[in-house]
A and B are shown apart, each in its own frame.
Chain A
Amino acid sequence: MKVSAIITLKKDVLDPQGKVIHQALDGMGFENISEVRQGKYFEIDVNENDPGKAKAVVEDMCKKLLANLVIENFKIIETQ
């Protein structure tokens, strides 16, 4: 089954890319924005039918490689 993981920067970590995107959007006329934070999205097809087990595998992946827990948080979503 497919499991998704969303990795986001923790609140107090500076995100210069997000800031530049914010400025660009602002310049394009999207003025009603207070902040932009950039993150990562993974879609992983796990050979496992049990949603609980599939999510547990992806959680392990996030902890060991996909996210750096010093600066990032992760969220797992069952997509299929």
Chain B
Amino acid sequence: MKSSVITFPGSNCDRDMDVALKKFGFNNKMVWHDDNELPKSDLVVLPGGFSYGDYLRCGSMASKSRIMQSVINFAKSGGLVMGICNGFQILVETGLVPGVLLRNKYLEFICKNVFVKLDNKENAYFKNLNKDVLEFHIAHNEGNYFCTEDQLKEIKDNNQIAIYYCNKEGRIEDRYNPNGSIKNIAGIFNKEKNVLGMMPHPERMIDQSLSGEDGSIFFKNLINNIK
């Protein structure tokens, strides 16, 4: 299975993602933001970081970079595109997934493990996953998901909510919401469910010595779903 990770100026989780994808069997290529064309890929990942120093709005400049037209075309033809953290911010700026990511409610950079509950397994990312609650890591300043009332209705009607912040048992309550996200939303799909944007970092949970294994469960399942 072939994957591509895009490196933007200021990306800093691109190599972590490369390590994670290779560990679980992907033949991964790193792709520079200024390239014109994506290599042949089964999965494209927009990694975390601080592309363009978060200037203007997080992800806004990266969303206009040269490679993104090829990524958008790939997504529109049904290809799997996953944006993690800053990658999620880039995805909302392209319009591939709805909404925006605002500054965290309490103006703090948050760096900690969180639990997320899967809402929908009818997609290539979570199909056949034997857990409903996963422990992932978050590290962000702008992860406060927001959308208009109309967009929220549409997102719900189309089952586009991918994951919610919750507690260990999977209870979705306000007190388990780290950043003020509307409805505890931590990740969103596009309508067709081939594009996934989420704030948590599964690539940081692929080694017991690095805090956990739920990322391993996610990536093993993902490559099996793509095969």
Contacts and interface: CB of A to CB of B under 8 A. Distances in A.
Interface stretch (A9-17, A25-33, A44-52): A9-17
A14 B107 CA distance: 12
A68 B99 contact: no
Contacts of A24: none
Contacts of A68: 57, 60, 93, 100
Interface in B130-165: 144, 146-148, 151
B209 to A, nearest CB: 36
Nearest to A64: B64
Given A65-B64, A66-B56, A16 B103 contact: yes
A28 B20 CA distance: 50
Contacts of B202: none
A20 B104 CA distance: 13
Contacts of A17: 103, 107
A80 to B, nearest CB: 24
Contacts of A65: 56, 60, 64
A71 interface: yes
Interface residues of A, number: 10
Interface string A62-77: 0001101011000000
Nearest to A40: B56
**Band of interface residues on B:** 10 to 19
Interface string B82-104: 00000000000100000110111
A14 B145 CA distance: 11
A23 to B, nearest CB: 11
A13 B102 CA distance: 9
A70 B102 CA distance: 11
A16 B148 contact: no
Interface string B58-87: 001000100000000000000000000000
Given A16-B105, A16-B106, 18 more contacts: A13-B102, A14-B102, A14-B105, A14-B180, A16-B103, A16-B104, A17-B103, A65-B56, A65-B60, A68-B57, A68-B93, A70-B99, A70-B100, A70-B146, A70-B147, A70-B148, A70-B151, A71-B102
18 contacts: A14-B102, A14-B144, A14-B146, A14-B180, A16-B104, A16-B105, A16-B107, A17-B103, A17-B107, A65-B60, A68-B57, A68-B93, A68-B100, A70-B99, A70-B100, A70-B147, A70-B148, A71-B100
Interface of B: 56-57, 60, 64, 93, 99-100, 102-107, 144, 146-148, 151, 180
Interface of A: 13-14, 16-17, 20, 65-66, 68, 70-71
